[in-house]
Amino acid sequence: MNLRSLVTLGGTVLLAGVLSACGSNVKLDETPPVESRTATPVGGAGQSQSQVSTVTAPSGSASSLDAASQLARVVYFDFDSYVLKDEFRPTVSGYARLLTADPQRRLMIEGHTDERGGSEYNLALGQKRAEAVRRALELLGVRENQLEAVSYGKERPAVAGSNEEAWAKNRRAELILR
């Protein structure tokens, strides 16, 4: 086993440990947690269960562009939370593979919130959301100098409106490859 494999394995084990610890009272001055939930299979005999497949990025510019175009660009968060949900783990893993395969690539992570709350609070919450994604990527082996996390708070909503549907779309981190 070479050094890179050991580092990747260590990052994976560390990520698993971080993902297993989840608190219910979230404070903005804490280290960004990563949520871990165990999935329960749905459906009985005769029903097929869908499997999540992740995107692997082979080295080379044309194939990495293809892989990048298949990755989701947005990670959504619950109200007043910066906990990275399990359903977005494949997205984060896909970006980690792409960025570790191509050290010249950079990723901008933009944290956003819905319109509720004050501007300062929402800027801090948006930053925590961006940092939660950044931390998960670093745990998967992405170098710190490839990542930049910024917050726009409630200043750049994806969807206009003052209802739960609009708010849910605005509680996000956008991932922009460069």
Q: What are phi and psi of 152, to 5 degrees?
A: -115, 0
Nearest one of 96, 53, 90 to 72, comparing CA atoms:
90
Look up the CATH number of the domain holding residue 88: 3.30.1330.60
Asked whether residue 28 is assigned to any structural domain, the reply reads no
108 exposure class (CB count in 10 Å sphere: 0-12, 13-18, 19+):
middle
Asked whether residue 29 is assigned to any structural domain, the reply reads no
- Predicted pLDDT of residue 3: 53
- Predicted pLDDT of residue 34: 55
What is the span of the domain harbouring residue 108?
Answer: 3-22+54-177
Taking the C-alpha atoms of residue 110 and residue 77, their distance in angstroms, rounded to an integer, is: 13
Domain count, the chain: 1
Asked whether residue 64 is assigned to any structural domain, the reply reads yes
- Predicted pLDDT of residue 145: 97
Asked whether residue 154 is assigned to any structural domain, the reply reads yes
Asked whether residue 15 is assigned to any structural domain, the reply reads yes
Asked whether residue 32 is assigned to any structural domain, the reply reads no
Asked whether residue 135 is assigned to any structural domain, the reply reads yes
Asked whether residue 96 is assigned to any structural domain, the reply reads yes
pLDDT in tens for each of the 178 residues of the chain?
555 555 555 555 444 444 444 443 445 555 555 554 544 444 444 444 434 444 444 444 445 555 667 788 999 999 999 999 999 999 999 999 999 999 999 999 999 999 999 999 999 999 999 999 999 999 999 999 999 999 999 999 999 999 999 999 999 999 999 8
Q: At what angle do helices 89-101 and 119-139 cross, to 10 degrees?
A: 60
